[in-house]
Amino acid sequence: MSLNRFLRTRTLSVDTSGDEREPLISTSRRRSPSLGPAGFMFYDSDINSDIESAQPRQTKGKKQLNYLYSLRPNRIDHEQVYKKLDFQLYDKSDFIIKEAQPQRATNSSLVTIFTVWNTMVGTSLLAMPWGLGESGLFLGLLLCFAMSFLCFYTAHLNVTTYAKNGKPGDGAELFVLTKDLIGPWAEIIAKSFSVLVLAGAAFIYWILLSNFFYHNVYFVFYYIRSDSNMQPSWSSNVLCPNHENFTSSGSKAEIASDTFDMIWDLHRTVPLYLVLILFPVLNFKSPTFFTKFTSLGTMAVMYIMFFAVVKFFVFGVNVSLDSTSVHYTSLAHLTTFPKMSGMLTLSLFIHNIIINLMKCNDKQENNKRDLSIAYILVCGTYAFVGLVLFIAFPIAKSCIQDNILNNFLTGDLMTLIARFFLFFQLLTVFPLIVFMLRSQVLTMIFQSSYPSVLSVVLFNAVIVALCVFFAIVFPQIGHIIRFTGAIAGFIHVYSLPCLLKIMSQKADGSLTTTSLIIHITIPILGFINIIAQFLV
């Protein structure tokens, strides 16, 4: 076939003898709706495009439609085409466009309860025995139950207020609700203190990662040395780091001059080595890869509970009310108990995402029941681990560290497994924490979670520098937990839920004096909790 013949304009005869003023979209031709790319429902029809339908009408029974196979522009008199357009042919009733209602993913009550429990319970478990030691056994357990009830109540306030006044948002329903009921200034405050929680979590995780990394490498190094007696064992010995003659392992005192101990120091060098491992992965645009390992968190909690039970059977009960006994256990420390209340505020904190979790519950009428069960389980988990390890601790309770694993020998088999396991678990969680922190901060500033590579790298560098600073200068996770919990909790746990409740009741005229007094008293308690952290 010659090129000229191939490029020749072809013609097609079409019968147009019918009524050519039939509406472009006829009601008789409607089909089932389909979801368009913009999130709307469109109804399909057997029609050509608008431009095809706008061709000049022919008075003959047949007309010529040009389908060009030529590289030359089609010769169409556009002025005549648009003069012939009759826009009255479009009947608005023929366009059924409605906003698509996305199907909400729902979970059963059991899944909802487990999700809330799994989200709240974390590394605070390692500090619970220390918290009981600072508050006293009886007062500490009482605080655990009382704080759990208070945190449940304020979390439930968020859920019920959203159910009454909320509207679907972009995954930040609490902030949208805060902006609608209180104002943009309150939304900014809520986001800022949510960032504080994530920053505190990042500092705590870096300290724990440094600790686990140090002990794991320390064990491996001395295990493979021929002149070392480092061996994994079922040891029943514990350590008291507060004692002036304390050494971190049984053999370290006699090899303290070793070069390895100079370059592998828990509080000087190891936090810096972690930068080489973690900083590159923090700059990924999306942390999707790390979300595949979230199930490790549940396994970590289960192992810590198993660890507590085993140590309990190894050590037995070591509690005495005799003040002269080495096992003396105070029931209440009235001067230091706020440490426990501050720590519990963060340990029971889920208020900034509880709306997102509970709105996926299959039966919304069970939200109160399911949330209460979840909080009972969380409280039970914290109380169980803290109580079991506290009453089993075989030497003075004042020796208990804010990371209970620091009280066990590096070569202790169960502690060794815990440190290896928790190291890899936190290694996958830390990038997620920094990603959420980065997304919130950069979105507030640039309206984008990834405005540029340079801004992301600079932000991550600042966060990592702060993490290293705390790991070197102030590696006390118990104190970081309590200060972060008290300060951020004052907004998200004590104040914001109550203020949202008051504004909601005020809007519908149901605000009573009793409700006002209750929901003003709770923020006052939160403020007292902050002040107390600086006095103990």
- The band of 284, judged by pLDDT with boundaries at 50, 70 and 90, is confident
- The band of 104, judged by pLDDT with boundaries at 50, 70 and 90, is low
Q: Are residues 20 and 166 in the same domain?
A: no
Half-sphere exposure of 263 (CA within 13 A, CB side): 6
Would you tell me the crossing angle of helices 477-489 and 338-347 to the nearest 10 degrees? 70
Region 399-422: mean pLDDT is 93
Of 81, 99, 117, the last residue of a domain is 99
Q: Are residues 69 and 127 in the same domain?
A: no
Domain that holds residue 27: 3-99
- Read off φ and ψ for residue 67, nearest 5 degrees: -110, 105
196's tokens: 């504080």
Beginning with the edge strand found earlier in the chain, give each strand of the sheet holding 98-99 in spatial order: 33-35, 40-43, 98-99
Whether the per-residue pLDDT at 255 is higher than 80: the answer is no
Structure confidence by residue, pLDDT tens digits, 364-390: 899 999 999 999 999 999 999 999 999
3-state secondary structure of 328: strand
More confident residue, 102 or 456: 456
**pLDDT for the residue numbered 358:** 92
Please give the Cα distance from 478 to 459 (Å, whole number).
26
C-beta of residue 326 within 8 angstroms of C-beta of residue 397: no
C-beta of residue 16 within 8 angstroms of C-beta of residue 8: no
28's tokens: 């008789």
Q: Count the domains in the chain.
A: 2
**pLDDT for the residue numbered 318:** 95
Please give the Cα distance from 415 to 179 (Å, whole number).
47
Please give the Cα distance from 147 to 371 (Å, whole number).
15
3-state secondary structure of 233: strand
Q: Are residues 458 and 411 in the same domain?
A: yes
**pLDDT for the residue numbered 259:** 83
Region 58-82: mean pLDDT is 46
Amino acid at 462: V
Q: Are residues 13 and 115 in the same domain?
A: no
The residue to which tokens 């409280």 are assigned? 379
Of residues 335, 334, 338, 337, the one with CA closest to residue 533: 338
Q: Are residues 43 and 86 in the same domain?
A: yes
What percentage of the chain carries pLDDT values higher than 70?
Answer: 76
- Read off φ and ψ for residue 429, nearest 5 degrees: -85, -35
Of residues 519, 526, 514, the one with CA closest to residue 502: 519
Q: Which helix (H) or strand (E) holds 160?
A: helix 137-165
User: Would 482 be classed as within a structural domain?
Assistant: yes
Amino acid at 48: N
Q: Are residues 33 and 123 in the same domain?
A: no
C-beta of residue 478 within 8 angstroms of C-beta of residue 402: yes
More confident residue, 23 or 309: 309
C-beta of residue 291 within 8 angstroms of C-beta of residue 432: yes
The 3 state secondary structure assigned to 61-73 is CEEEEEECCCCCC
**pLDDT for the residue numbered 241:** 86
Please give the Cα distance from 131 to 479 (Å, whole number).
10
Whether the per-residue pLDDT at 30 is higher than 60: the answer is no
**Which neighbouring-strand residues pair with 67?**
10
More confident residue, 335 or 39: 335
3-state secondary structure of 108: coil
More confident residue, 7 or 160: 160
Whether the per-residue pLDDT at 100 is higher than 90: the answer is no
Looking up residue 360, the CATH number of its domain turns out to be 1.20.1740
Would you tell me the crossing angle of helices 413-446 and 453-473 to the nearest 10 degrees? 140
Sign of CA dihedral 218, 221, 227, 232: positive
Q: Are residues 264 and 174 in the same domain?
A: yes
Of 75, 99, 123, the last residue of a domain is 99
What distances in angstroms separate CA 311 from CA 160, 306, 406, one per listed residue?
A: 42, 9, 14
Q: Are residues 73 and 130 in the same domain?
A: no
Structure confidence by residue, pLDDT tens digits, 452-462: 999 999 999 99
User: Would 239 be classed as within a structural domain?
Assistant: yes
Of the segments 224-238, 349-363, 456-470, which one has the largest average pLDDT value? Answer: 456-470
User: Would 104 be classed as within a structural domain?
Assistant: no
Structure confidence by residue, pLDDT tens digits, 310-357: 999 999 999 999 989 999 999 999 999 999 999 999 999 999 999 989
Of 99, 121, 151, the last residue of a domain is 99
Q: Are residues 91 and 116 in the same domain?
A: no
If you average pLDDT over every residue of the chain, what do you get?
82
- Read off φ and ψ for residue 15, nearest 5 degrees: -80, 120
**pLDDT for the residue numbered 59:** 46
Q: Are residues 216 and 260 in the same domain?
A: yes
Beta strands 40-43 and 33-35: pairing type?
antiparallel
